[in-house]
């Protein structure tokens, strides 16, 4: 009798172990979905994941007024998608769209979008369907290399062969002015007299290898190019970080092992807090 109990007990333990193995195995091997993380920060921070099945570009732009996303799909088409999931292909016939198209975003004017094609910034008018080459820039599928401050002024990164140079752009006068240069990977937002950017730097005195590189968010003074450290993020080898700024806070994604974490940094107090995590691959951030 005692042997039967031991036998049946062993069977039950085996079944439980098998079930646990299957469940844990499935959880760890779940296919990552590409998601845009919507952040509602009006009253308290709430997050919602929007799945984007066909998106080649991590530089996804978001229009608050229209509640639409702008991105590039795997067929190198510029796509506009609303929150409900309805998509519209923007057929830019004047340009041979290839994998070099990147950094699509809504322009400073409501009737235009901008993108980078072969290291040039182009404007596409949604009304008359005309494409106009504006200026040189840096193309990238995973970082933002130009932004708008308002309808008249913008900022861009240009590769000088060693570092990236940050320029201001006057859209009306077609004037450009160099602000600074350095290892600036992407630019996030311009507020008053500052530009928030993601910088790469070496934390080792004698080690200039890739392993010694780190990321941090900095604030660049537009008038003199001086920089101020806002937030240290971590090693450059850990992954690429997306960040947005809504005026009071900076939100950014950091990848750790199999999860991606959303952090918020208050610009007034410098307080940092972890507010969300996901096993999916975050390819864009949008703040409402």
Beta-bridge partners for 244 = 251
pLDDT given for residue 252 in this prediction: 92
Question: Can you give the pLDDT at residue 27?
Answer: 43
Low-confidence ranges of the chain (pLDDT < 70): 1-30, 43, 204-211, 237-240
The secondary structure of 166-190 as a DSSP string is EEEEETTTTEEEEEEEESEEEEEEE
Domain boundaries, the chain: 32-57+248-288
Average pLDDT, the chain: 84
Going from the C-alpha of 176 to that of each of 89, 113, 123, 160, 227, the distances in angstroms are 32, 20, 17, 15, 20
For residue 64, the model assigns a pLDDT of 87
pLDDT of residue 240: 67
Position 2 scores a pLDDT of 45
pLDDT score of 20: 46
pLDDT for position 212 = 79
257 CB-near residues (< 8 Å, 6+ apart): none
**What pLDDT score does 274 carry?**
93
């Amino acid at each position: 009798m005692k042997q039967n109990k031991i036998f049946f007990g062993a069977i039950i333990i085996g079944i439980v172990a098998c079930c646990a193995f299957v469940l844990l195995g499935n959880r760890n091997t779940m296919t990552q979905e590409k998601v845009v993380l919507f952040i509602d920060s009006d009253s308290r921070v709430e997050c919602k994941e929007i799945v984007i099945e066909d998106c080649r570009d991590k530089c996804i732009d978001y229009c608050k007024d229209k509640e639409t996303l702008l991105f590039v799909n795997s067929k190198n088409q510029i796509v506009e998608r609303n929150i409900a999931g309805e998509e519209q292909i923007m057929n830019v016939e004047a340009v041979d769209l290839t994998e070099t198209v990147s950094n699509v975003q809504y322009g400073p004017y409501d009737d235009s979008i901008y993108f980078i094609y072969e290291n040039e910034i182009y404007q596409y008018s949604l009304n008359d369907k005309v494409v106009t080459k504006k200026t040189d820039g840096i193309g990238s599928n995973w970082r933002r290399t130009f932004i708008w401050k308002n309808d008249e002024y913008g900022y861009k990164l240009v590769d000088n062969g060693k570092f990236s140079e940050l320029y201001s752009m006057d859209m009306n006068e077609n004037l450009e002015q160099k602000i600074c240069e350095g290892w600036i990977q992407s630019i996030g937002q311009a507020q008053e007299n500052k530009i928030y950017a993601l910088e790469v730097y070496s934390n080792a005195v004698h080690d200039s290898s890739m392993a010694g590189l780190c990321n941090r968010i900095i604030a660049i003074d537009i008038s003199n190019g001086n920089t101020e450290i806002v937030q240290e993020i971590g090693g450059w080898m850990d992954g690429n970080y997306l960040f947005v700024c809504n005026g009071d806070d900076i939100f950014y994604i950091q990848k750790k092992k199999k999860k991606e974490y959303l952090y918020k940094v208050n610009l007034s107090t410098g307080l940092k807090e972890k507010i969300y995590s996901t096993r999916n691959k975050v390819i864009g951030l949008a703040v409402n």
